[in-house]
């Protein structure tokens, strides 16, 4: 799935990284606990979260993710946007809640890590 | 975890070394050293999966230093066979290392949990992503963590 498709499915706004919307992603994860993302995530390129602080961007960078979707209309701070731009990350923001946003992406083929290795 | 890595660290001084002071007063800046190490390792042509393991382990350690110890120092040594990360702080120390290593055990305050950390996964993650890890800690003196990732 292209990141541009995620934008459409979630009716999301692009905060930054417009130039990378054509990149392909194959799996995603949703979490507000960065500790869990660091512990359990493997090879997911997209992070859905309702958490807003600089460590969300750093966690994504550490995990080699390329897109963060902020759910529940959360808006990343100026500092987060600068960090994301430095790393070439796409930041999206959607009005949808976490459950619905994950569900929309899942039924359209963006799986979690488990399914990728089944 | 009980492996003595001091000899390894001594040998590592012959390779490349990156030194960082980790600011303990600013949670927002935590992780800057790990981001820099990731960039440096990329430039050195280290395999991506190894870079990821090193940077996640160091990032967790950096976050821990900021949350619990008021900062400290981070040194990364790179040679042909391995990458060694040494995190040193003069914080309160870890009274029970075995307990601290259990997944889910945490002494982090709620303020830190609200920032997405403090789930008791930091130290277990550091062990998970590295080949060797040694913790030396004295209550009231500080903690030194040495981690090694083989190349």
CATH architecture of A3-110: 3-Layer(aba) Sandwich (3.40)
Question: Which string of b and e fits B76-99 if b means at least 16 CB within 10 Å?
Answer: bbbbeebbbbbbbbbbbbbeeeee
- The pLDDT value recorded for residue A117 is 47
Give the rounded percent of residues in chain A with a pLDDT score beyond 90.
86
Q: Does B66 touch chain A (CB under 8 A)?
A: no
pTM score, whole prediction: 0.89
Between A35 and A13, where is the model more confident? A13
Tell me the pLDDT tens digit for each residue of A68-86: 999 999 999 999 999 999 9
- The pLDDT value recorded for residue B117 is 92
Name residues of chain B where pLDDT drops below 50.
1-3
Instruction: For chain B, positions 76-135, list CB contacts with chain A under 8 A.
Output: 103, 115-122, 124-125, 128
**3 state DSSP class of B142:** strand
Q: What are phi and psi of B78, to 5 degrees?
A: -120, 125
- The pLDDT value recorded for residue A115 is 60
DSSP A18: G
Indicate yes or no: CB of B115 within 8 angstroms of CB of A62. no
- The pLDDT value recorded for residue A40 is 82
H/E stretch holding B149 reads strand B142-150
Is B138:B77 a contact under the CB 8 Å cutoff?
no
Indicate yes or no: CB of A32 within 8 angstroms of CB of B116. yes
Q: Does B36 touch chain A (CB under 8 A)?
A: no
Indicate yes or no: CB of A59 within 8 angstroms of CB of B116. yes
Indicate yes or no: CB of B35 within 8 angstroms of CB of A33. no
**3 state DSSP class of A83:** helix
Predicted ipTM?
Answer: 0.86
What is the largest distance, in Å, between two alpha-carbon atoms of chain B?
Answer: 43
**Domain ranges within chain B, ordered by starting residue:** 6-150
Predicted confidence (pLDDT) at residue A118 exceeds the cutoff of 70: no
Tell me the pLDDT tens digit for each residue of B84-109: 999 999 999 999 999 999 999 999 98
CATH architecture of B6-150: 2-Layer Sandwich (3.30)
**Domain ranges within chain A, ordered by starting residue:** 3-110
């Amino acid at each position: 799935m292209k990141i541009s498709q995620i934008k459409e499915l979630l009716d999301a706004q692009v905060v930054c990284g417009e130039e990378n919307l054509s990149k392909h992603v194959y799996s995603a994860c949703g979490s507000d606990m960065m500790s869990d993302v660091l512990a359990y995530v493997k090879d997911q390129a997209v992070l859905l979260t309702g958490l807003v602080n600089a460590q969300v961007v750093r966690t994504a960078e550490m995990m080699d993710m390329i897109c963060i979707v902020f759910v529940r209309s959360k808006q990343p701070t100026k500092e987060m946007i600068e960090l994301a731009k430095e790393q070439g990350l796409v930041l999206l923001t959607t009005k949808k809640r976490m459950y619905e946003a994950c569900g929309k992406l899942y039924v359209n083929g963006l799986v979690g890590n488990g399914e990728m290795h089944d | 975890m009980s492996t003595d890595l001091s000899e390894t660290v001594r040998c590592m001084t012959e390779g490349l070394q990156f030194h960082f002071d980790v600011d303990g007063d600013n949670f927002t800046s935590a992780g800057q050293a790990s981001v820099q190490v990731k960039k440096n390792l990329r430039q050195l042509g280290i395999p991506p999966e190894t870079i990821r393991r090193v940077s996640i382990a160091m990032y967790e350690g950096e976050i821990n230093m900021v949350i619990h110890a008021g900062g400290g120092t981070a040194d990364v040594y790179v040679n042909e066979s391995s990458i060694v990360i040494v995190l040193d702080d003069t914080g309160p120390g870890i009274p029970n290392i075995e307990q601290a290593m259990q997944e889910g055990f945490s002494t982090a305050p709620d303020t830190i949990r609200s920032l997405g950390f403090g789930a008791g996964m930091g130290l277990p993650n550091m062990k998970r992503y590295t080949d060797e890890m040694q913790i030396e800690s004295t209550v009231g003196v500080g903690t030194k963590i040495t981690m090694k990732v083989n190349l």
